[in-house]
């Protein structure tokens, strides 16, 4: 929904939009001629342990149009955020039960898989 607006702004010369397009949305943004920002663009040196975890989690992913770097950042940062909310044991339980979809439910603990 954002792409037509961004394209119109770019074509009219009003602005050169930067789009935050996370994971699979980045593919569409690149196809539209944008250079989107993603999780990997916001990694800091303090995120080294999250990237380590993300690398382990990403090693199980099937091939995708999402870059390995983006997948590692997304998984690692999201997992560490979930750990900060529910603790490491519960975060691991959720990830084991439903995979990366558990990050969608992090603010709604009652919606985890049983």
pLDDT in tens, 30-59: 999 999 999 999 999 999 999 999 999 999
Quick one: pLDDT at residue 105? Answer: 52
Structure pTM?
Answer: 0.81
Query: Which sign does the torsion angle of CA 94, 100, 101, 103 carry?
Result: positive
Integer Cα distance of 46 and 51 in angstroms = 10
Closest listed residue to residue 47, CA positions, set 101, 84, 94: 84
């Amino acid at each position: 929904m954002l792409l037509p607006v961004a394209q119109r702004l770019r074509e009219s010369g009003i602005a050169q939009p930067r789009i935050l397009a996370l994971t699979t949305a980045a593919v569409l943004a690149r196809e539209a001629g944008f250079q989107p920002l993603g999780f990997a663009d916001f990694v800091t040196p303090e995120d080294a342990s999250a990237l380590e975890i993300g690398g382990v989690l990403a090693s199980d992913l099937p091939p995708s149009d999402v870059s390995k770097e983006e997948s590692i950042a997304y998984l690692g940062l999201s997992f560490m955020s979930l750990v900060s909310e529910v603790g490491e044991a519960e975060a691991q339980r959720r990830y084991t039960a439903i995979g990366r979809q558990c990050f969608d439910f992090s603010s709604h603990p009652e919606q985890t898989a049983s």
